[in-house]
Amino acid sequence: MGLLAFLQRLFWGAPPRESSMVGRGTAGAPFGDPLSRDNSLSGPATSGQVLYKSRRGVFQNPASNRYAPHGDRTGRGQVVEQSPYRFARRDLPSGGFIDLTGDHRPDVLNQYGLPLLRTPDDLARWLSIPLPRLAWLIGRFDDNHRPQSESESHYHFHWIKKKSGGFRLIEAPKSQLKQIQLQILRGILDRLVPHPAVHGFVPGRSIRSNAAPHVGQAWVLKLDLTNFYPSVSFNRVVAIFRSLGYCREVAIWLGRLTTSAIPSSLNSPDRRMATVWPYLRRHLPQGAPTSPALANLSAFGLDVRLQGLAGAYGLRYTRYADDLTLSGPQRAVAALREIIPFAGWIVRQERFHLNKAKRRVLRRYQQQSVTGLVVNDQLGVPRAEFDRLKAILTNCLRHGPASQNREAHPAFAAHLLGRIGHLASVNPGRGVKLRSLYQQIDWNR
């Protein structure tokens, strides 16, 4: 079984039998063609309700079909008298130890080319760190399960203001933990192939590849996931590592190394509990090198189901981090009244949340932008962005660079050159004009 099929089974469950997929369409088209029915998409509300009921079973992921790791399916482990490995957990009722290595799957690990790690000792040797030090990094000796202060944490915390209002917490791992996370990223996570619709933080893909499928479409539906990283809990991360073949014990240690629990003393700048609330449970930290890959894997089920929804309606679907985009032809406009509720239902089923304030439906007569690029007729940078950058370069030429460096960038010239390079990668002609202005600037003024 390939990685794609394996992860589909993990998040999507066993594929339905052919007979259960044949609905109101023809035998050769299990879903039928929802766009070819005579006025059914623009008819009364009752037709939409019937369609919703007939399609619901296709897009849902019943708990009975979800993947359960082989071996010990309860996750309780086997109670033994002697400690099976260092730092094994105690079973208080019996006084023995709990062996959580029974569901180790070397065949699956070998299939993906992942390191064979069965015990915490194996993990420590692979990371080239003493086991007691590794246990300290995961908080194995901390009964409170979270640091009491920022100085006790293995992360640096920094609040940044969102453009839409409110604050976002950046959690940057300290040097030793960061090196460990980089090894987990290179040795494990980078070997896994994300869903084809994902373009964020994937080598060879970019905002350009994310926007390209939506060029020339009659309408573009933009959805935004709120608190994307904090929505991925510690349990979901452990489940990801277990699905790759690691036993529960190693998966727990890997999960603790790649998630964060904020200190009890941490407050937000606005002193509002609602700002801190999404970060209270152990979660993926925004700022850790492993978080983008783990977030993409945790959203694999979401991508599979939204891709299935798009395919059923003849649409196109992509995701860049927390930005979801669906687009389609004019004949599918009437189906938006079904597609939008379906998409929201799928997002909730996959334990994410939509930011309803950022939902947009962009028509042809509007500027259709996807991840910052215009997609109406061809890929391009918004004219306002080009004009803004051109004005900055012109003023640098006339009045000196210092007059335009209002945000005090330490490397302002490199910053502007990067913005020019981004624009030139999408529109080479405009990039030539901006580079010409850039080369005329006296950076010593």
In tens, the pLDDT along 429-438 reads 999 999 999 9
**pLDDT on residue 68:** 38
Q: Which two tokens stand for residue 392?
A: 């900055």
Instruction: Determine which of 80-89, 229-238, 357-366 has the lowest per-residue pLDDT on average.
Output: 80-89
Same domain for 149 and 277, yes or no, is yes
The conformational region for residue 328 under phi > 0 = left, psi -120 to 50 = alpha, else beta, is beta
Q: Does residue 401 sit within a domain?
A: yes
Q: Does residue 56 sit within a domain?
A: no
Q: Does residue 117 sit within a domain?
A: yes
Distances (CA, A) of 147 to 73, 79, 159, 236, 413: 31, 30, 18, 21, 41
Same domain for 278 and 387, yes or no, is no
Q: Does residue 22 sit within a domain?
A: no
Tell which of 283, 316, 341 closes a domain.
Answer: 283
Same domain for 262 and 394, yes or no, is no
Q: Does residue 416 sit within a domain?
A: yes
Give a three-class secondary structure readout of 83-124: CCCCCCEEECCCCEEEECCCCCCHHHHHHHCCCCCCCHHHHH
Most confident stretch, 58-62, 70-74, 275-279: 275-279
Same domain for 263 and 121, yes or no, is yes
In tens, the pLDDT along 309-367 reads 999 999 999 999 999 999 999 999 999 999 999 999 999 999 999 999 999 999 999 99
Segment 255-262 shows an average pLDDT of 96
Judge whether residue 237 has pLDDT over 70: yes
**pLDDT on residue 409:** 87
Q: Are 269 and 168 in contact (CB under 8 A)?
A: no
> Which residue has better confidence, 287 or 63?
287
Q: Could you tell me the residue range of the domain that residue 160 belongs to?
A: 78-173+233-283
Q: Does residue 94 sit within a domain?
A: yes
Return the SS3 of 369: strand
Amino acid at 36: S
Q: How many structural domains comprise the chain?
A: 2
